A and B are shown apart, each in its own frame.
Chain A
Amino acid sequence: MTSRNKILEAVRLNQPDALPLPDTGIFKGEDIEVLEKFLNAVSATGGKAVMAGSYDEIAHLINQAFSGAKRIVTTVPELTGMTQIKAGLSDAHHLADVDLAVMNAHFGVAENGAVWITEDLMQERALPFIAQDLAVIIHKNNIVPTMHEAYDRIGTSVYGFGSFIAGPSKTADIEQSLVLGAHGPCSMMIFVL
């Protein structure tokens, strides 16, 4: 018998009689002041949320905040003045010197400040992790109260890869001192349109 079948047989023999699944539909977040809650949650993650009126304004704010950056790339078509990144054009390792990556997110989550980004918005899966700094754009109408509504939104959508990202990468492994910028971005800016 293969290892697979031996394991499955042992599990089948030892698992108890089937127990029911609970109704998780009972969990609903309050759909009030989600924008304000989201902005507060983002700053608790170490990120920075900024309200913006247009893509032009975002481009202007980025150029101001990252005037020293050598390589800024984006996957957002509306940001016409920036270098566009397309999937498969080059090996992901060529992104190693990216100072700032700018991309869209599907939505934000008010309870924890996370944004949901799938592979199609990243173009390269490595991009939101390898860049020294990360900027993300969401629309103010796309903020859900909790993770339950987040997964209602995701539903059965198909993606190769997707990630909830909540702030810059961080660690507190040395004596519990919080340090931003572990392996991924050292800062995260969220523009709310």
Chain B
Amino acid sequence: MNESTLHHADLSERFNADEERVNWHDETLWWIRQKRDRAVNLLPEWESLREAASQIKNNVLSRLSEYLVAFEARATENGITVHWAENAEQHNAIVVNILQQQGINQMIKSKSMLTEECHLNEYLQQKGIEVIDTDLGERVVQLAKEPPSHIVLPCIHKKKEEIGALFHEHLGTLEGASDPMYLTAEARKHLREKFLTRRAALTGVNFAIAETGEIVICTNEGNADMGAHLCDVHIASMGIEKIIPERKHLPVFLRLLTRSATGQPITTYSSHFRTPRAGKQIHIIIVDNGRSTQLGRKDFRSSLKCIRCAACFNTCPVYRRSGGHSYHTAIAGPIGSILAPNLDMKKYADLPFASTLCGSCSHVCPVKIDIHDQLYKWRQLLVQEGHVSSSKTAAIKGMNSVLSHPAFFKMAGKAGRWVIRHIPFAVKNPLNVWYKQRDMPEAPTASFSSWYQKNRKHDKQK
């Protein structure tokens, strides 16, 4: 099978080959989920904040065209150059054009999932432009020639020994050294030299304020600020959905974002850029890349409310045990699984099935996106559109006829219990993927309905 056609189940199997690592990954992310809970439980107004954030984002999506025009006008007045990109290719071409106009062939970049979505790094490489990621986790995966596996914790799938080996090879750290404090200090030295010598810095955007034309960028490391305040040209890439109407709406989101992401009450830096420094440039690239299409899909529109906190990743029993790379898309996890099919239904048809539909994602989402409902709705749409394998479709159709005919259901149950007791190999075999890494249940001697009939009679006799 071609690497690019591998699906979530195949890629999860690869991740699951190392059971110890899966357990460690699972526990680490659950620990972050618990930190989130502790932070959230300190705020009695948490649910009201979620509701307010949800309503603000609903308002933004309903008046997005006006807000975008207002934002552009204010930002332009502030001395910022605003660009528009319909898709990834246009976005990447705009970046290269800005750099070439300034004669720049080296750039640093802080975290931007949008540029991952656009595959900017590969494009820049083809154009002979060097790009260095400055977020520590992103630098690690860049050196490993891998994509990030988590939108907040890019190298959460890597053990410190592996990071130590990477740094030894690329940064010349001591062989065998894996102490996080030592490795971080070495990365600080390595990247500080880049901050001081590069003339262009690209950042993402957390919030763009329509009222004032300013953008807000949140980091813990300070890498977005180090890049932006030392460069001649600051390029900020944002999806059209990053708009917030007014400055007074920011506290709602800043209070929700980091508590949901890591359990901190706020990131170390929440930086508000309104104008460029004297003699320097800020360029903002506003990117559509399928978002306006998603806006038109009534069932999936609200996925655009996402503020990229990754709480849904950390709580997801599937993500925790399958790893970010199993989603083969820039944004993994439950939210990624409802965003990706919008970009390419065929390529990402497997992702809405990478869920137990337990609903934990929707419960932790700070902007109240009904993630698990949308996963369920995507499944239906993908089957209708013919993007789901024939065996899965046949199984679903089979279940449908069994479940809608009571007599058939009764008979099938009886047959099933007999098969599991007497000829288990008929169902537990390599052809039945359901039994992969699952144990056979003990077959009960009677069905629930016969048990119920019998016991209800007992109850009545009492």
Contacts and interface: CB of A to CB of B under 8 A. Distances in A.
A189 to B, nearest CB: 15
Given A183-B222, A183-B226, A184-B226, A173 B268 contact: no
A13 B49 CA distance: 30
Given A8-B68, A129-B226, A41 B265 contact: yes
A165 interface: yes
A10 B294 CA distance: 11
A186 B86 CA distance: 41
B295 A175 contact: no
B221 A170 contact: yes
Contacts of B272: 159, 161-163
A84 to B, nearest CB: 19
Interface residues of A, number: 73
Nearest to B154: A173
A104 interface: no
A21 B230 contact: no
B134 interface: yes
Q: For chain B, which range describes its interface: under 10, 10 to 19, 20 to 34, or 35 or more residues?
A: 35 or more
Most buried by B among A10, A11, A164, A185: A11
A126 B226 contact: yes
A146 B251 contact: yes
14 contacts: A4-B72, A8-B69, A10-B293, A19-B62, A21-B245, A27-B49, A129-B229, A130-B229, A151-B251, A161-B277, A164-B270, A170-B221, A170-B268, A174-B184
B140 A173 contact: yes
B223 A182 contact: yes
Given A12-B65, A27-B45, A169-B269, 16 more contacts: A7-B84, A11-B288, A15-B62, A19-B58, A19-B62, A92-B229, A93-B230, A147-B255, A151-B247, A159-B274, A169-B222, A170-B221, A175-B159, A179-B185, A183-B191, A183-B195
A16 B64 CA distance: 10
Contact of A147 (B64, B196, B254, B286): B254
Interface string B1-44: 00000000000000000000000000010011000000000000
B86 A6 contact: yes
Given A27-B49, A174-B160, A183-B222, A16 B301 contact: yes
Interface in B264-318: 264-275, 277-278, 286, 288, 292-293, 295-296, 298, 301
Contact of B56 (A22, A112, A169): A22
A140 interface: no
A183 B184 CA distance: 9
B62 A13 contact: no
B184 A3 contact: no
Most buried by B among A19, A152, A182, A183: A183
Contacts of A21: 55-56, 59, 245, 249
A135 to B, nearest CB: 16
A20 interface: yes
A86 to B, nearest CB: 13
B271 A161 contact: yes
B137 interface: yes
